[in-house]
Every structure is written in C-alpha cells, then in structure tokens.
Amino acid sequence: MVFDFARTPAAEPQLPAGFFFVNWSPSLVDPHADVLHRSFRNDLDGTVFTTFRQYGHCRRLIELVSVNPHFLPAATLLIARNGADQKQEYVANIQGLKLSAEIGAIQNVAVLPEYRRQGIGQALVQGALQGFRQAGVCRVTLEATADNFPAAKLYHRIGFTTFRTYFREIFDWNP
C-alpha cells in the first residue's frame, strides 16, 4: 500500500486523552520489542510470521531495524500513558525507514489488544507520516497481509491505496 503526500494531505494525529508520543531513542529497544511481541503474538501476522511469537526474535528485529542505514528515527514512535504508579506504560509502536530521498517505508504497526479501537493505531500512523514528511519523503509504503482486514481498513481510512497484491511463501522455521 502507498500513501502519497501529493494526493492526500496527512491529518494531524489525535491521541485519546492521557496518551502521548515517545520519540525514538536507542534505550527504547526493549519497549519497542515488548509492544511488538504482545501485539502480534496472538494475531493474524503472528500466525503468518513466527518471528513475532518470541520476544527475543522481536528484540532482534528492532535492533536490526534501528541499525539499518535507512532507519528513520523521526518516523519511529511509541505511544505511552502514565500508569497508576506514574510509570510509563507503552501501548503502541511503529518503525520507519527512508529508502531513498523520496520513498519511506513503515515497518511494523502495533497496538496492544486491550488498547485497540480507540483511535491509537490511526494516530500512530499519522504521527509517523509527520516524521516522514519532515524528512522530505513524498510517498510512504507498507506491506499488509491481505487477510488483515483491521489493518487494511485503518490504512485505507488514513489515505493509503493498494497498488500491488502478491503471494509470498513463508518459511516457517519455528512453528
């Protein structure tokens, strides 16, 4: 799917009350990995991509993304809230890459199951789009599993369009 800033203006992210964005820092590898793991492990993409089922694999994934030469910290966010003891609780995350001067790519979009359907996923993607825009990106791509209807509906609602559907064989090395 692709979002084209020339065709669709990116809306300001609107987070529900009490939630706030946390910008990328290398000290946040663990919260990113934890949110990724807990969001995906029992969901469709956790079934398709076994990486998401183990915390250690999610942590390695975040480490690898963050040292990728195309990594874009401005489009890499956590969403948090202050818990009862004023400790930050992380509830959602997204990572971005700048593949070329004009093209950005969203890696993962994850909202913990208990925080879904409150507009957090939408604000998360829109927050990342702001980061891509500030980095001079014109178009942002992402891949979604065709059967992931919640994700597809979210992306269409934001303004992404589907430009290609393809079949990929998944090697299930850790069933």
Q: CA-CA distance, 171 to 83, in Å (whole number)?
A: 39
Nearer to ligand COA, 136 or 156 (CB): 156
Q: Does 148 bind ligand COA (CB under 6 A)?
A: yes
Least distance in Å: CB of 123 to ligand COA? Answer: 7
**CA-based nearest residue to 123, from 73, 157, 147:** 157
Which among 69-77, 82-90, 150-158, 166-174 is the span making contact with ligand COA, rule CB under 6 A? 150-158
Least distance in Å: CB of 52 to ligand COA? Answer: 8
Q: Does 36 bind ligand COA (CB under 6 A)?
A: no
Q: What share of the chain is helix, strand, coil (3-state, %, to 5)?
A: 40, 20, 40
Within 10 Å of residue 104's Cβ, how many Cβ atoms? 28
Q: CA-CA distance, 157 to 136, in Å (whole number)?
A: 23
Residues that bind ligand COA (CB under 6 A): 39-40, 43, 45, 109-111, 116-122, 144, 148, 150-151, 153-154, 157
